[in-house]
Chains A and B, each alone.
Chain A
Amino acid sequence: MSDVTLERVPKGRLGVWFLIAGELVIFGGFIAAYILARLEYPEFGSKEAAGALNPIVGTINTMILLISNWTMVVAHEAALEKNVAKMKSFMLYTLVLGLVFLGIKLGYEWPADFHEGHTISSAKAIAGAEPGGEVMKVSLFWSYYFLMTGFHGLHIVVGSLVILGVYISCSGGENLHRVELAGAYWHLVELVWVILFPMFYLIK
């Protein structure tokens, strides 16, 4: 821990930390609900549920997001050195990587799941199934999966818009302190994914 006093922390950074704490509790709520359901239903780990998620694709996506966090850090370092050109390129790389992440998720993973009949409510799959039975529990898994990865994806969209906004406002070389704040939000997205990825893809 540092000996920086609270009053010395710049306003923007202070505000972003409170935002991050608030967001962590929101995602925490979803995660808590999922953990409770997962502990109750080992069926969530079955072949039709978590077993149907492709860990290799998930890992690739995880690495893409990780690299995008690195490019964002480089952009921030460039901003500190007032190297505006480098800052702008690396913010763009971050945006592109974020889009690739979304593209893989929305363009490949989700359609593959829909094709198997797994949707957020799996309404067709559960028609006529036994109440409280295995089919129902599997459909609950998919409800949680789409809900939470969807919300995470929404935050990638918002984070991308934030980065884009900061990019535009900083292109002349002013307001460079905003790059760090955009980076903090982007790292929040990574933080959440670090929990979601093993929770859905690896714990079966």
Chain B
Amino acid sequence: MGRNGNRRRSAIYHITVQGALDTAWQEWFSGMAITIDQDTDGVLTTLKGPVADQAALRGILNKLWDLNLTVISVRREA
């Protein structure tokens, strides 16, 4: 059935936070690739990588919040 068809597939997420996060944190965030960009808003860090499901996404966001990082955007690759 359609409703079950893609329920266990992971998706690629891009999560952007304010400030520069050391790439050494990569492993901490389930191996998501960390890139740092200079933007008009200042320095931004983007974590990019596969996220297994919504629970995993929530876990990652919680970790970011626990480090008091400000989340700017969360985007899922189509």
Asked if A and B bind, the verdict is no
A-binding residues in B (CB < 8 A): none
B-binding residues in A (CB < 8 A): none
